[in-house]
């Protein structure tokens, strides 16, 4: 089976949708040698910031000289982006060999796309004997396919209302699902959480006898400088390559994790991990300046908390633009009305689009109905990549923000790269 057919096989597993639970993947891993049991891992969950925090952790480990695996989702352009070692993507040859070897077992167990991809990441990291692997959850935590690991640290970056049809309709319910990654005796690190979410996590830590590290206990924002201080380290985070004060908190959380878990306390190395996060991990889609003159910004904010984080940074320069255009697309299980309510006053025009070949996407018909309900003028775009390409010809001080689902950003990037 060549690469094209291997990936076609993988993508066909989307037919099984999101199948929460660990029985299938546990059975599969047991039959394929339990590669995850050979790994030293960091497990990262959260509504927002989990991809950035995972990347900061991986970057710091790489700066210390460790061979570091990084598993994130979804990808932007190439499937291989999901599984990396020291920013080198998993090779096509490994994907082909893996699918060929395990196709019958995958079919017999009716595994999902995410289950197979997760197991493949474990196999790849184990085969290449990484020192550490940073594993980002896909959805939730408790029943996520990644939750078969017993990590060195469990991380919960943030909690907001998302995937409410699956995870629950309250912060407390979602916090309980995220807290499902907590393992007996494994330290737990959290970003800035609501008090009701912290209460849930504290109770789970008490039951599991896990030490809890709350980021707010170790940080202080002085002007635009975030101070991270523990008994071992003192670090002033003035900026990160990922724009926004919220990214400083993600970086600080990563620094706290590697310091407390591995007793790595060289502040210069931690700082290098922060400053080199993009070149070390290839992270993209976080207030990413995709084009200059005219400015085009890509951001994968996809829930109300993410939108508020984006706007906190965008507002700093929004007044310098004569025209501000938004291109927005998201999944149906997101709070789209709340997101648009927060966004509309900052943009002169809001253009909306669906995501190609994705049944979960909010469609143009859905947006049409929403625009009537909200009494909000929305401009439908059937060719989002073409719209971005056309905007690149604009003159004057203007900005286009492409915002929402990572699937949308990936679709546009893929199209533009093919026609570069």
257-269: average pLDDT: 94
pLDDT at 14: 72
CB 53 within 8 A of CB 254: yes
Phi and psi at residue 345, to the nearest 5°: -75, -10
Q: Is residue 189 located within the same domain as residue 230?
A: yes
339-361: average pLDDT: 91
CB 248 within 8 A of CB 215: no
Instruction: Specify the residue for token string 């920013």.
Output: 87
CB 390 within 8 A of CB 402: no
294-307: average pLDDT: 94
Q: Is residue 216 located within the same domain as residue 320?
A: no
Kindly report the CATH number assigned to the domain that includes residue 379.
Answer: 3.90.190.20
Q: Is residue 237 located within the same domain as residue 275?
A: yes
Q: Is residue 276 located within the same domain as residue 292?
A: no
Spatial separation of the C-alpha atoms in residues 337 and 343, rounded to whole Å: 10
Is the pLDDT assigned to residue 79 strictly greater than 60? yes
User: The domain containing residue 158 runs over which residues?
Assistant: 3-281
What would the pLDDT profile of 333-349 be if each residue is shown by its tens digit? 778 999 999 999 999 99
pLDDT at 164: 46
Q: Is residue 247 located within the same domain as residue 343?
A: no
Instruction: Specify the residue for token string 């692997």.
Output: 133
What would the pLDDT profile of 80-118 be if each residue is shown by its tens digit? 999 999 999 999 999 999 999 999 999 999 999 999 999
What would the pLDDT profile of 399-412 be if each residue is shown by its tens digit? 999 999 999 999 99
CB 34 within 8 A of CB 159: no
Last residue of some domain: 244, 260, 281? 281
Strand 153-156 to 212-214 pairing: unpaired
Residue positions counted in the chain: 420
Q: Is residue 153 located within the same domain as residue 217?
A: yes
Q: Is residue 351 located within the same domain as residue 258?
A: no
Name the band, by pLDDT with cuts 50, 70 and 90, for residue 15: low
CB 69 within 8 A of CB 123: no
> Residue 225 to residues 243, 250, 396: CA-CA distances in angstroms?
13, 14, 33
Q: Is residue 248 located within the same domain as residue 296?
A: no
Number of domains in the chain: 2
pLDDT at 355: 85
CB 27 within 8 A of CB 46: no
Strand order in the sheet with 219-222: 219-222, 225-229, 234-237
């Amino acid at each position: 089976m060549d690469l094209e057919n291997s990936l076609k096989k993988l993508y066909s597993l989307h037919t099984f949708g999101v199948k929460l639970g660990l029985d299938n993947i546990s059975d599969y891993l047991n039959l394929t040698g339990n590669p995850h049991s050979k790994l030293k891992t960091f497990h990262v969950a959260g509504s927002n910031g989990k991809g950035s925090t995972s990347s900061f952790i991986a970057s710091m480990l790489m700066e210390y000289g460790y061979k570091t695996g990084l598993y994130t989702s979804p990808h932007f352009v190439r499937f291989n982006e999901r599984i990396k070692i020291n920013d080198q993507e998993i090779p096509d040859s490994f994907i082909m060999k893996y699918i060929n070897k395990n196709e019958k077992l995958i079919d017999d167990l009716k595994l999902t796309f995410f289950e197979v991809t997760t197991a493949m990441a474990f196999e790849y990291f184990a085969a290449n004997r990484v020192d550490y692997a940073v594993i980002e959850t896909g959805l939730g935590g408790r029943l996520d396919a990644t939750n078969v690991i017993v990590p060195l640290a469990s991380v919960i970056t943030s909690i907001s209302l998302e995937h409410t049809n699956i995870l629950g309709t309250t912060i407390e319910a979602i916090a309980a699902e995220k807290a499902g990654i907590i393992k007996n005796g494994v330290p737990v690190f959290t970003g800035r959480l609501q008090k009701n979410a912290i209460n849930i996590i504290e109770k789970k830590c008490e039951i599991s006898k896990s030490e809890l590290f709350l980021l707010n206990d170790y940080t202080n924002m002085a002007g635009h400088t975030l101070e991270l201080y523990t008994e071992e380290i003192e670090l002033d985070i003035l900026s990160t390559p990922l724009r926004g004060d919220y990214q400083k908190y993600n970086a600080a959380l990563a620094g706290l994790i590697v310091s407390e878990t591995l007793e790595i306390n060289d502040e210069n190395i931690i700082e290098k991990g922060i400053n080199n996060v993009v070149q070390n991990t290839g992270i993209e889609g976080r207030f990413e300046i995709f084009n200059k003159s005219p400015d085009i910004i890509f951001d994968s904010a996809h829930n109300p908390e993410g939108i508020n984080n984006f706007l906190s940074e965008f507002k700093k320069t929004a007044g310098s633009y004569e025209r501000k255009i938004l291109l927005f697309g998201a999944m149906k299980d997101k709070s789209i009305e709340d997101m648009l309510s927060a966004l509309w006053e900052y943009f002169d025009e809001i253009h909306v689009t669906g995501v190609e070949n994705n049944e979960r996407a909010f469609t143009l018909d859905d947006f049409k109905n929403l625009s009537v309900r909200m009494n909000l003028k929305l401009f439908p775009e059937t060719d989002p990549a073409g719209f971005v390409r056309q905007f690149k010809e604009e003159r004057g001080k203007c900005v286009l923000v492409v915002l929402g689902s990572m699937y949308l950003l990936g679709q546009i990037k893929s199209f533009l790269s093919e026609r570069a």
